[in-house]
Structure 1
Amino acid sequence: MDYVVRPIKSDDVDAVWEIEKMCFSVPWSRQSFVLEVEKNKCARYVVAEQDGNVLGYAGMWLIVDEAHVTNIAVHPLFRRKGIGQALLKALMMEAYRMGIDKMTLEVRASNIAAQSLYKKLGFVEVGVRKGYYSDNDEDAVIMWNFSISRALGLKQGE
């Protein structure tokens, strides 16, 4: 499947928001994405695009010496094609380029597919946030990748 992963542009917000609403029971608002893309200097977002269509997106906040994945979603019609992995790897590379080698995220306890992807990319479970998700009080599994460079197979200076 041919697609490119690139930094988000303001023009992508509507497509990203549509995917957000399809994928999450408590979606972020459109305005939240506008603020993330246009105002938040700590935020980095990427999209997967094919023929002008956004297939998925991912974002993170860069906070001191760590990256925190805020969201990652792939349009339901394009799942299981490696897009989520490509998006997360792009975030990891961007964090690494910014001098950050640790990344964290929260994931629903029931989202075994996502947890499997994260483990594949070097994330480990370190804790649980009880009742984290407001729609159903589901727990969130806290995961960390303590060496982005090792997970991506990078050597010093790459």
Structure 2
Amino acid sequence: MRRMREESAPEARHGYTIRQMAAEDLSAVMLLEQASFKNPWSQDLLKRELQHEWSTILLVEEEREADGPELLGLAIFWIVHDEVHVLNVATAPKHRRRGVARAVMDEVLARGRAKRCTLATLEVRKSNEAALQLYRAFGFRPVGIRPNYYVDEGEDAVVMVLDF
């Protein structure tokens, strides 16, 4: 496996700052997960992702007047060999339709290209039309269905692939 852990300075793309998550961000990330999903990732699962060399959690932030940065969204992904696998993309409900997911996906894919990946994969809820449109806009194409992938709701996932 390739080493993924590289601390880099936060980047400001699309008017947002994108940086890697640190352990001290855990409480804010948990609030975002709970606001974004019926079945959010657990604190233990997020802690484990922070420990894996191949896993990266990117946070999207926006500066506020006096309060410091506000967490708008995140992406969790792995780079293993020559593949990027996107596990989770979340945008705070009040910040949806502002390009937050697009900005973080731009960064995820840029990091994959920088590591000379040849492929990106992800699963997305069959009913999540906004996400399906976003991923198609990046060039992802559906290649299959994972039946009952989201077990708690009994919903299928669309498997999508992007060739770099």
Deviating 4+ runs (over 2 angstroms)? none
Match for residue 57 of structure 2? 45
Quick one: distance in 1 between partners of 2:70 and 2:24?
Answer: 11
Q: Distance between the aligned counterparts of 1:32 and 1:111, measured in 2?
A: 23
Displacement, 1:34? 1.5
Q: Is the 8 A contact 1:128 1:141 kept in 2?
A: yes
Query: 2 CA distance for matches of 1:44 and 1:131?
Result: 26
TM-score of the superposed pair, with normalisation by structure 1: 0.88
Q: Which residue of 2 aligns with 1:133?
A: 150
Q: Could you tell me which of 94, 111, 124 is aligned with 1:94?
A: 111
Residue 33, structure 1, aligned to residue 46, structure 2: yes
One-letter code aligned to 1:49 = E
Give the match for residue 22 of structure 1. Answer: 35
Distance 1:95 1:10 in 2: 23
1:87 to partner: Cα distance: 0.5
Task: Supply the distance in 2 between the matched residues of 1:35 and 1:53 (Cα, whole angstroms).
Answer: 24
* In structure 2, C-alpha distance between the alignment counterparts of 1:44 and 1:98, rounded to whole Å: 13
TM-score normalised per structure 2: 0.85
Counterpart CA distance in 2 for 1:130 and 1:2 is 38
Q: Which residue of 2 aligns with 1:153?
A: none
Supply the distance in 1 between the matched residues of 2:30 and 2:114 (Cα, whole angstroms).
Answer: 27
Gaps of 5+ in 1: 148-158
Cα shift at 1:71: 0.3
Tell me how far 1:26 sits from its aligned partner. 1.6
CA shift for structure 1 position 3: 2.3
Structure 1 range deviating more: 85-94 or 17-26: 17-26
Equivalents in 2 of 1:121, 1:3: separation in Å?
A: 19
Q: 5 Å matches for 1:1-158?
A: 2-37=15-50, 39-51=51-63, 52-147=69-164
The amino acid of 1:93's aligned partner reads A
Q: Which runs of 5+ in 2 are unaligned?
A: 1-13, 64-68
More strand by share: 2
SS of equivalent residue, structure 2 residue 72: strand
Percent of pairs with identical residues: 35
- Indicate the SS of the match to 2:148: coil
1:19 maps to a residue whose letter is L
